[in-house]
């Protein structure tokens, strides 16, 4: 947790209830230790997609389809989320959930290691959400910058890692290697003159990246 308890409880008190399908997905994730995005992060993704008029979105890390469904619901009827996932079982669970929502048809699951599948994608995306193996983040970011449309957004989750990134010390949950990757990525994003970067203390730390001067 990044925020102190009172603030976190207060924010929780403002949360609107999610619909039954999302609640079921949250319960499945909690019961099966699937690290889905916090609800507010997922809602932010939907809001950013809608505000930016996104039509084609790339997600690196589908899990059970929770964030993908939030994004898909925010897209127009002809919109699409291409989501990369290497775990076949996880993708199968995602597909059963996505099949239960009309927006789920907008999610196209690309099975395989994103290190192999992402470089093969030739489309230009309106928004890209990076939420998979932390060691892959620097490489995903480079490819994402290459595939992002003008004024598009890249959103990156877990850049504060329960506060470990601020102290620079990993614990049992966040290995030191992941913390080090986040530290160097945040430094790079915050200092690159070609990029605008905002790191929100929301959920587990949500980075939003946009190219400058477009």
Task: For residue 111, list its beta bridge partners.
Answer: 85
Output the smallest distance, CB 53 to ligand SAM, in A: 22
Q: How far is the CB of 106 from ligand SAM (least distance, A)?
A: 15
CB of 60 to ligand SAM, least distance (A): 7
Q: Which stretch binds ligand SAM (CB under 6 A): 49-57, 82-90, 148-156, 206-214?
A: 82-90
Q: Taking CB under 6 A as the rule, does residue 205 contact ligand SAM?
A: no
123 scored as a contact of ligand SAM (CB under 6 A): no
What's the min distance (Å) between Cβ of 2 and ligand SAM? 17
Taking the least distance from each CB to ligand SAM, the nearer of 63 and 209 is 63
Nearer to ligand SAM, 84 or 160 (CB): 84
Provide the sign of the torsion angle of the four alpha carbons 199, 127, 51, 204, taken in this order.
negative
Instruction: Decide: residue 164, CB within 10 A, 0-12 exposed, 13-18 middle, 19+ buried.
Output: buried
Alpha carbons 1 and 75: distance in angstroms, whole number: 30
Contact predicate 135/177, CB 8 Å: yes
For the chain, the maximum distance between any two Cα atoms, rounded to a whole number of angstroms, is 46
Contacts with ligand SAM, 126-145, as mask; x by CB under 6 A:
-----xxx--x---------
- Element at 59 (helix H, strand E): strand 56-60
What's the alpha-carbon Rg for the chain, to the nearest Å?
16
Contact between 115 and ligand SAM by CB under 6 A: the answer reads yes
- Report the C-alpha gap between 145 and 64 in whole angstroms: 26
Q: Residue from 40, 87, 101, 192 that binds ligand SAM (CB under 6 A)?
A: 87
Residues in contact with ligand SAM by CB under 6 A are: 35-37, 61, 63, 66-67, 84-87, 90, 113-115, 131-133, 136
């Amino acid at each position: 947790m990044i925020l102190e308890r009172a603030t976190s409880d207060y924010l929780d008190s403002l949360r609107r209830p999610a619909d039954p399908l999302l609640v079921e997905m949250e319960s499945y994730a909690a019961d099966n230790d699937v690290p889905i995005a916090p609800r507010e992060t997922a809602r932010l993704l939907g809001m950013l997609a809608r505000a930016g008029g996104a039509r084609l979105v790339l997600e690196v890390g589908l899990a059970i389809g929770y964030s993908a469904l939030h994004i898909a619901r925010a897209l127009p009827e002809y919109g699409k989320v291409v989501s990369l996932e290497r775990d076949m079982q996880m993708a199968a669970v995602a597909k059963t959930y996505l099949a239960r929502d009309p927006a789920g048809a907008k999610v196209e699951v690309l099975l395989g290691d994103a290190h192999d599948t992402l470089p093969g994608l030739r489309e230009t995306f309106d928004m890209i959400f990076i939420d998979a193996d932390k060691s892959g983040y620097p490489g995903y970011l480079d490819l994402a910058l290459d595939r992002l449309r003008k004024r598009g957004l890249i959103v990156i989750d877990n850049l504060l890692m329960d506060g470990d990134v601020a102290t620079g010390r990993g614990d049992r949950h966040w290995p030191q290697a992941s913390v080090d990757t986040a530290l160097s990525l945040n430094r790079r994003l915050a200092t690159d003159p070609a990029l605008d970067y905002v790191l929100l203390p929301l959920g587990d730390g949500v980075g939003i990246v946009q190219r400058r001067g477009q």
